[in-house]
Amino acid sequence: MASEQRGAHPSLLEVRLMASQKTTKDDRIWRQLRQKIKGIARAKVRVGVIGNKRHVGGISMAELAAIHEFGAPNAGIPARPFLVPTFQLKRSELVAFTEKLARKLLNESIDIEQALGLLGAWAAAAVKKTITSQMVTPRLADSAAGRRTIARKGSSVTLVDTGQLLNSITWAVEKHSK
């Protein structure tokens, strides 16, 4: 066009010509992004004791985890939470890791199932570390009943007796199709 040769702004005639050219709207990328976001909104990862495994004592591992997390006052068992404190203590790490996964999702280097799988593995490992690092309180040695438990099991590691609870901490990705 003439304005390119002169280095000036386009003339009114050139603007009218440009405006009259038919433009097409291609929103495929936005539709794909919208579908991806819908898929992300429907997917989730569960972390903790999942499934119907039974403890040596006959109760389910999920029931045992709940007893430890919330306590059983009528049975003289104090609350020794290990799930909630993990995510409270690791909040900034969790946020940073989630942001990293979100960037990978957006640039399509991983899909939602991979991202949630990585997040679940990270979270399950963090919960197990909380249990084994002795951050769970009250500790067994803090009470007479606890000291009897130490004598019975031969260890002062809170929440670790047979190792079943620790080994039951896992994760599962749930992706809903609707």
Q: Which residue has the tokens 């280097």?
A: 109
Would you say 138 and 68 are in contact if contact means Cβ atoms under 8 Å apart?
Answer: no
Instruction: Calculate the average pLDDT of the chain.
Output: 77
Angstrom distance (rounded) from CA 26 to CA 160: 58
Residue extents of the structural domains in the chain: 44-175
> Which pLDDT score, from 0 to 100, does residue 76 have?
79
Q: Could you give the residue ranges of the DSSP H alpha helices within 78-138?
A: 84-89, 91-106, 112-132
pLDDT digits (tens, 9 = 90+) for 55-111: 767 888 888 889 888 988 888 777 888 888 899 999 999 999 999 998 898 888 888
CB 153 within 8 A of CB 147: no
- What percent of the chain clears pLDDT 90, i.e. is strictly above it? 22
Instruction: Using the predicted structure, report yes or no on whether residue 124 has a pLDDT greater than 90.
Output: yes
Q: Is residue 126 within 8 Å of residue 84, measured between CB atoms?
A: no
Residue with tokens 């495929």: 28
Contact present, 54 and 61 (Cβ < 8 Å) = yes
In angstroms, the CA 46 to CA 48 distance is: 7
Whole-number Cα distances in Å, 102 to 68, 114, 119, 136, 174: 33, 11, 11, 31, 17
SS3 109: coil
Handedness of CA 42, 43, 46, 51 (dihedral sign): positive
Output the pTM of the full model. 0.67
